Amino acid sequence: MKTKSFLSVAMLLALFFPMNAYAQASFGKSSLFNDGWTFVRDDVEGAEAPAFNDSRWMPVRLPHDWSVKGTLSPDNASCTGYLPAGIGWYRKHFSASDFPLEKTFIYFEGVYNRSSVYLNGHLLGERPSGYASFIYDMTPYLNRSGDNVLAVRVDHSRKADSRFYTGSGIYRNVWLISSGETHFALWGVGYATVSLTPQQAVVRVDTQVEGPIPASAKLVLTLKDDAGNMVAKSVTKAAVKQNVDLKVKAPHRWDMDDPYMYTLEAALISGKNELDRAEVKAGIRTLAFDPNTGFALNGVNRKVKGVCLHHDAGVLGAVVPEEVWERRLLNLKAIGTNAIRTAHNPQTPVLYDLCDKLGLLVMDEAFDEWEYNKKKWVEGWNIGTPAMEGTADFFNEWGERDVTDMVRRDRNHPSIFLWSIGNEVDYPNDPYSHPILDGGNFEFNQPMSGGYKPDAPDAMRIGVIAKRLAACVRAADPSRPVTGALAGVAMSNQTAYPEAVDVVGYNYSENRYEKDHATYPDRIIYGSENSSGYDAWKAVRDNEFIFGQFIWTGIDYIGESRAWPSRGFYSGLLDLAGNIKPRGRMRAAMWCEDPVCYIGTYPKPQPRPDRRRPMGDSSDAWDTWNYEEGQIIRVVCYTNAAQARLLLDGKEVGAMTPFNDQTGIIGWDVPYKAGVLKAEGYDASGKKVSEYEIRTALRPASLRAMADRNELAAGGLVHVAVEVLDDNGNLVPLGDNEITCMVEGPARLLGMESANNTDMGNWNDNVQRAYRGRLLAYVRTGTDPGTIKVRFTSPYIKGSEVEIVTLSAF
C-alpha cells in the first residue's frame, strides 16, 4: 500500500511565514504587513476601487502617523498639540497566489480613527475607536490569482476629538494572519492563576475554537519554563469552549523584582494533523486587595509607585518603536517607578510585553469619556471657549465591545493588575451634574464646578453605565479587579459608580482618604491620578489602607498644550526625550531604596506680599551652576539620606541639615561663586552614603555624541545622545546650539528631540537646536547589514561622530 505524504497546517504556516513574526492574536501564523503601502492626506472619492490610480500617492511604511509629520499651527487645536488632523487614505497592492491555507485575515493593532477597510472594493468593516485592535476575514473577497488591493479610509476630521494628542492614521502594526478552517478564535487562548503555593500552582487555561471540529480533535496544552523544559501538559478532547487546569510543581513566580515568564503552547491536533497552534507568554502570580491593608502581590504587601503615560513620544508622535519604549520604562524604573497607567486608552501591544519583561505593574484603561463628550481646549489649556468634539457618538454602540476587546487582547499579561473602565467621566458639570454640587454639601472644587446645573445630564447615569462596563470586564476576565478613576468623588459617592467597581481610584482627592475610609470601610481606595507633590506621596506612605498612587505624568506629552507656543504638557518626571527631569530626581528620593542625592539651583525667590503662601522650595530645580558673582542662589537637595551638607570647591558653604519631612527637601541659600558645588548625604550615624556635584560651565566648545548601542541587528533602532560641552568637557546647561545631523550608510534619521516644550518649528528635518545642552537623535537601521556613520555639526564649535555596525537579522 502506498504511503500518503502530507504537510500539516502548521508545517505550511512555517514554510510561508517566518517563525519570529508574531501578532497578539492567539491563532494562525502571522506576518507583518507594514511594507508597500501608499498614502494621501485627502478624502478621495472612489479610492476603495481596485482600478483606482494611486501611482502618485506617497509611499509609506507602516506604522504611520500623518499628524506629527504635519505643520504646527496656532490654527490647530491646542488639546492635540497644535498639529493637523483630517482625512487620509492608505492603499496596498499584494498577491495572494502563494497564500497556503484556507483562511486569510488582516489584523490592525490600531488606527486613529473611524476607519473603513476595503478589499478589492468590498467593505470588510468599520471601527470607530482609534485605540481598539481589530481583525477582518479577507477570504471571501481574496483573489488567489492576480492583484489584490487593500484600501483604508481614516477619518480624523474632528481635529479636537481628544483632550490629548492622538496621532492620525494606521499608527500601529498591521499583520497578515493565515489559518486553516478550524482555528483558535481571536484572543482565544487565555490563562489565570487559580491557586499558588511554593509547592504547586494551578493554572487554568481557557480556549475558544472557531470552525468545524473533527470528532478526533484533541486540545494539547503544554507549559514550558524559560529554558524550554516542559513543566505541565494536558491532552483533552477539543471543544468550542473549555477550561483546563494545569498543575505546576515548585512554580517560579512572576514578581516586580523577578519577572519570570513561562511559555504556554496550545495546539489543536486531529490524527497526525496540527490544525492550529497558539503560543503565549505566561506569568504565575497572585493579586490581593484589602480595604485596610491595601495591595499584595504574591502575598506580599506592596506600595504601588505608579505613573500615568500617554502613547506619544515627542517628535515621533504616536509611532513609538519598542526600543524607545524600553529606554523610557527603564528610566522610570531607575527613579523607583513600579507601575504605569495607560492614560486613558489601551496602548500598543509591545508596551505590555515590555512591562511583563521589566516587572512593571499596569493599570489598563479603556476610556476618557463615555456617552457625552468632554470639553476640549483649542486655544490653550483652560483658555477661551472649548470645543465639544469627541467619541461619544459611537460609545453606546461600541463601548461594551471596545472594553471587552481590550480585556481579551491584554489578559495574558501578568503585569496587568487592574482594568479601568474610565477616567474622570464623573468630572463635575463636564458633563454630569448633581444637587450635591450646590452649597455647603460639595466639599471641594465648587468654584470650578459652578454648582448644580439642573439642565446638565444626571450624574446617576454614571453608575448605570459603570455597572454595564464592569460586567463586560468580569465576563472577559474574572481574575482581576475592575476600577475607575474618579474626579468628582463627592458627587460619585451619591451614585452607584463606586459600588460598581471593585477598587475605587481617587484623582487628586487625598483630602478624602481618611474620611471615606471611615465612611465606606469596605471600599478599597488608592490614588489613580496624583500630583508629584510630597504631600500626595505622604498620604500613601503614611496610610496603610492606601495602596498606591499614579503621578500625572510619567513623561511629558504632546497635547493639552498651553497657549501657543506650547507643544504639550510639561508635568512629566521624564522629558519628551525620555531623560530624567529634576522632578524625577525628587521622585527617586521618595521612592528608591538605594541612596539618592541630587542638587538643583535657582535665584533665591523674593518675598511677595501678594502671595497667599510663602514661596516654598522647588521640586523642579535644574542642576545648573552659572549665575552672577555674589548673587544669592537657592540650592535644593533631593535625597533620601537622613541629613546632607553643601560644599563649594571642597569648602562647606551649607551646614549639615536634617531631612525635612514637611517638604521632602533640604535647602540652603548661598552667594554664587564659580566652581564645583557638591552635596553629600549622610545617614543618621554620620556615614556618607551619597553625593552629587555640578560645575560651572564655560562657553560651548564642542559636541559629544554617544550611541546607546554600537552594534545591533539590521532593522533596529539606536538612540544617539548629543551633548554641548565646554573646553573642560563639562556639559553646558545653557547650550542651545543649532545642530545638524547627517547619516551615512544603511540607516535613516527618524527625528531629533530637544525636549523643548516651546519648539514649534519643523520637527521633520535634520536640523534642531539643543535644549539645556542636550539633543537626542533616533536612528533606524535598514534591512541590510553595514557600517553607519552618524555625524553632528554645529557652527563655530567642534562636531562629533558615532559609528554603528549593523549585522544581518537572520
> pLDDT per residue over 288-298, tens digit each?
999 999 999 99
| CA-based nearest residue to 205, from 243, 176, 154, 239 | 243
Across the range 646-664, mean pLDDT stands at: 97
Across the range 69-98, mean pLDDT stands at: 95
Q: Check whether 310 has a pLDDT greater than 60.
A: yes
Beta-strand relationship, 717-725 and 416-423: unpaired
Eight-class DSSP state of 565:
S
What radius of gyration do the chain's Cα atoms show?
A: 28
Residues 169-227 have pLDDT tens digits of 999 999 999 999 999 999 999 999 999 999 999 999 999 999 999 999 999 999 999 99
Across the range 796-810, mean pLDDT stands at: 91
Are residues 680 and 744 in contact, defined by beta-carbon separation less than 8 angstroms? no
Q: What burial class does residue 111 get, using C-beta atoms within 10 Å of its C-beta: 0-12 exposed, 13-18 middle, 19+ buried? A: buried
More confident residue, 381 or 246: 246
| CA-based nearest residue to 561, from 373, 378, 723 | 378
| Dihedral sign for Cα atoms in the order 655, 658, 663, 666 | positive
Across the range 65-92, mean pLDDT stands at: 96
Active site residues: 424, 529
Q: Check whether 415 has a pLDDT greater than 90.
A: yes
Give the pLDDT score at 98.
Answer: 82
Give the pLDDT score at 392.
Answer: 96
Q: What burial class does residue 527 get, using C-beta atoms within 10 Å of its C-beta: 0-12 exposed, 13-18 middle, 19+ buried? A: buried
Give the pLDDT score at 78.
Answer: 94
Give the pLDDT score at 8.
Answer: 38
636 grid coordinates? 535644593
Give the pLDDT score at 17.
Answer: 36
pLDDT band at 617 (very low <50, low <70, confident <90, very high): confident
Taking the C-alpha atoms of residue 309 and residue 345, their distance in angstroms, rounded to an integer, is 10
Q: Check whether 445 has a pLDDT greater than 70.
A: no
Give the pLDDT score at 615.
Answer: 52
Give the pLDDT score at 609.
Answer: 60
The DSSP-derived string for 398-453 is HHHHHHHHHHHHHTT-TTEEEEEEEESTT-TTSS-B-GGGSGGG--S-HHHHTS--
Tell me the residue length of the chain: 810
pLDDT band at 11 (very low <50, low <70, confident <90, very high): very low
| Dihedral sign for Cα atoms in the order 219, 224, 230, 231 | negative
pLDDT band at 1 (very low <50, low <70, confident <90, very high): very low
Q: Check whether 440 has a pLDDT greater than 80.
A: no
Share of the chain above pLDDT 70, in %: 95
Cell 537579522 identifies what position?
Answer: 809
pLDDT band at 439 (very low <50, low <70, confident <90, very high): low
Q: Check whether 467 has a pLDDT greater than 60.
A: yes
What is the three-class DSSP state of 580?
strand
What is the three-class DSSP state of 722?
strand
Are residues 337 and 586 in contact, defined by beta-carbon separation less than 8 angstroms? no
Cell 524604573 identifies what position?
Answer: 333
Across the range 383-390, mean pLDDT stands at: 92
Give the pLDDT score at 126.
Answer: 98
685 grid coordinates? 550615624
Cell 510585553 identifies what position?
Answer: 353
Residues 313-364 have pLDDT tens digits of 999 999 999 999 999 999 999 999 999 999 999 999 999 999 999 999 999 9
Share of the chain above pLDDT 90, in %: 91
| CA-based nearest residue to 449, from 422, 431, 466 | 431
Residues 585-608 have pLDDT tens digits of 999 999 999 999 999 999 998 776
510 grid coordinates? 487625598
Give the pLDDT score at 775.
Answer: 98
E strand map for 64-179: 86-95, 103-108, 115-119, 122-127, 134-137, 147-156, 174-179
Give the pLDDT score at 608.
Answer: 62
Q: Check whether 800 has a pLDDT greater than 80.
A: yes
The mean pLDDT of the chain is: 94
Give the pLDDT score at 619.
Answer: 87
Residues 496-554 have pLDDT tens digits of 999 999 999 999 999 999 999 999 999 999 999 999 999 999 999 999 999 999 999 99
pLDDT band at 15 (very low <50, low <70, confident <90, very high): very low
Cell 516644550 identifies what position?
Answer: 757
More confident residue, 451 or 775: 775
The DSSP-derived string for 117-128 is EEETTEEEEEE-
Q: Check whether 718 has a pLDDT greater than 90.
A: yes
